[in-house]
Amino acid sequence: MKKTILPVLCQLMIAVPCALMAQQPVETGKPNSNYQPAFAGQTRVNSVKTTTDYKVEKIAEKLGAPFAIVAMPDGRLLVTLKKGYVEIHDTNGKLVKKIEGFPPIDFVGQGGLLDVAFDPAYASNHMIYWSYSEKYGIGNCTAIAKGKLNEADGKVEKVSVIFRALPELKSQLHFGSRLLFDKAGYLFVSVGERSIMAGRVQAQKLESGLGKIFRITKDGKAAPGNPFINTAGAIPQIYSYGHRNPQGLDINPATGDLWDAEFGPRGGDEINLVKPGKDYGWPTITYGIEYSGEKVGDALQQKAGMEQPVYYWDPVVSPSGMSFYHGNTIPEWHNNLFIACLSGTHIARIVIKNNKVVGEERLLADKKERFRDVAYSNGMLYALTDGGDIYKISKK
């Protein structure tokens, strides 16, 4: 009897700690503050681990100051370079074409040529839309332009600026910015509050274009049904407000909801479920503190009428571009959210159920790279680093 029981007990003693370890959060570092979450699972959720074998290949390197990697309608990859041009690469990373002809870019600090979105009717009209930092008035601003992509001649044509997030400021920071078409053919645009105090306070003001997510037509007008179209003094293109620096934007394929990821200060990086007309709190509420170590404002984390983040990090991971995994090539990743993390030097895999985060995993942490963007295409993920490397993540 003893001979039968003892081996079983030994196995249990070994297995239990392993199971417990698997449930520990991926973040073990000391937070910047003692702020408490508003609900269970809002931060440091239990870790998960991918069981499917997958491979990671570096398919391009040293492209130079990129911002976005976007899957083209035909499956190839378009990469924006902040200095003012884009590159088309095939799915194996080979450079196919350099595209120029963009309007003058204010390539300073975090600014430059930023994101690109393809017109839903791209197959017939070849129109693309892009965000960039533009010298304007007394400073600069985040601008949105459109033009026809002439791949054969390596240029964009018939360029026009359709929207500017004003007022302009003298700042090199927090331009945003991601672009995303919804199923109705309207364009979501995320814009930061420009970091400096003069911009920060405008994130709460509906007459300002700073710290907002917009929903616009292809000509830059307010999309029908926007929440503030009939609000006196409000910019009618505003969809949501109270954002700090939203650099991640995607639509959950399971629900059709818009999600964003945005930078906090020291602590308080956020994932938000973005609803029309809602106030996401910055700078009135936050789970972060100032870079100096001081508290932000009145040090509030909750306030009536302001939305809580679905998830937040403290310390920060610096979440930039993000993408939901649409397919079933790796079944356990279906509808998971993948976020490129800069200071976190990994790709965050976020498992969402019923609009709550239920698991977190860190991928590619061994690369020790600052990840700027991630794109899904045909069952694969493509991760772009700040240093200009592209990694392809696919099933073995």
What DSSP assignment string belongs to 32-49?
Answer: SS----SSTTSSSPPB--
List the helix and strand counts (H, then E) for the chain: 3, 24
Given a contact cutoff of 8 angstroms between Cβ atoms, the answer to whether 116 and 189 are in contact is: no
Query: The tokens 């993540």 sit on which residue?
Result: 393
In angstroms, the CA 382 to CA 59 distance is 9
Specify which residues 140 forms β-bridges with. Answer: 135, 169
For residues 133 and 275, give the distance between their C-alpha atoms in angstroms, rounded to a whole number. 26
Per residue in 101-139, pLDDT (tens digit) is 999 999 999 999 999 999 999 999 999 999 999 999 999
d(CA 101, CA 145): 12
> Given the structure tokens 């002439």, which residue do they identify?
150
Comparing CA positions, the residue from 268, 292, 273 lying closest to residue 282 is: 268
Query: Domains of the chain by range and CATH?
Result: 45-79+169-217+224-395 (2.120.10.30)
> Which residues have a Cβ under 8 Å from the Cβ of 57 and sit 6 or more positions away?
391, 392, 394
| Residue 137 backbone zone (phi > 0: left; psi -120 to 50: alpha; other: beta) | left
The 3-state DSSP class for residue 311 equals: strand
Residue 174 annotated as catalytic: yes
Q: Which residues in 252-355 belong to E strands, given as ranges?
A: 258-262, 269-274, 311-313, 319-324, 337-341, 346-353
Identity at 51, one-letter amino acid code: T
What's the sign of the alpha-carbon dihedral 77, 100, 186, 350?
A: positive
> What pLDDT sits at residue 20?
36
Q: What is the pLDDT at residue 157?
A: 98
161 backbone dihedrals φ, ψ, rounded to 5°: -85, 125
CA distance 4 to 305: 61
List all residues 6 or more positions away from 186 whose beta carbon is below 8 Å from its beta carbon: 215, 216, 217, 223
- Which run of H or of E encompasses 9? helix 2-22
Q: Which residue among 174, 243, 334, 346 is the active-site one? A: 174
Preceding amide of 37 cis, omega within 30: no
- What pLDDT does residue 23 have? 77
pTM of the model: 0.94
Cα–Cα distances (Å) from 370 to 155, 203, 282, 376, in that order, read 29, 27, 25, 18
Query: Mean pLDDT in each 10-residue stretch from start to end of the chain (396 residues)?
Result: 38 37 84 97 97 98 96 97 98 98 97 98 98 98 98 98 98 97 98 98 98 98 98 98 98 97 98 98 98 97 98 98 96 98 98 98 98 98 98 97
Structure tokens at 361: 């995993």
Q: Which residue type does 25 have?
A: P
What is the C-alpha to C-alpha distance for residues 37 and 311, in angstroms, rounded to an integer? 9
Q: How far, CA to CA in Å, does 346 sit from each of 26, 279, 325, 371, 373?
A: 12, 29, 17, 6, 11
Question: Assign residue 73 a region: left if phi > 0, alpha if psi is -120 to 50, beta otherwise?
Answer: alpha
Task: For residue 124, give the H/E element and its range.
Answer: helix 122-125
Whole-number pLDDT of residue 387: 96
